[in-house]
């Protein structure tokens, strides 16, 4: 009993589930874009070309970026939509504090 035993754990219990190699939210965004392409061009050769272009131009780079860093796409989207860095800049620790105003006036 003093010896530590190693047990194998199935990968699905440790990692987040992915659809096509990307997280669920990103997958649904890609499906929505493909459905939008289909609604615009209906069943035509342009639909096939744009969907294939979307797959090779957007899905595959995002899939490889997700493998490198799972939070990269989410942080990039947050920065894009908020137009600021993920963490707002903090004031210098040596900066002086502002003088507060008293909550009870001294004169009536």
pLDDT in tens, 61-106: 888 888 888 887 777 777 777 765 556 667 777 777 777 777 777 7
Q: What is the mean pLDDT of residues 33-44?
A: 82
Whether residue 95 contacts residue 53, with contact meaning beta carbons closer than 8 Å, is answered with: no
Residue 52 contacts residue 9 (beta carbons within 8 Å): no
Calpha distance 7→12 (Å, rounded): 15
**What average pLDDT does the chain have?**
79
> Is the pLDDT at 5 greater than 80, yes or no?
yes
Percent of the chain with pLDDT over 90: 0
pTM of the model: 0.52
């Amino acid at each position: 009993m003093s010896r530590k035993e190693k047990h194998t754990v199935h990968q699905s219990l440790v990692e987040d589930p992915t659809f096509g190699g990307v997280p669920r939210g990103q997958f649904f965004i890609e499906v929505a874009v493909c459905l939008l392409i289909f609604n615009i061009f209906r069943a035509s050769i342009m639909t096939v070309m744009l969907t294939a272009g979307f797959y090779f131009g957007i899905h595959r780079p995002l899939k490889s970026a997700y493998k490198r860093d799972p939070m990269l796409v989410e942080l990039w989207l947050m920065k894009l939509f908020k137009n600021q860095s993920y963490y707002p800049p903090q004031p210098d620790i040596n900066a002086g504090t502002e003088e507060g105003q008293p909550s009870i006036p001294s004169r009536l």
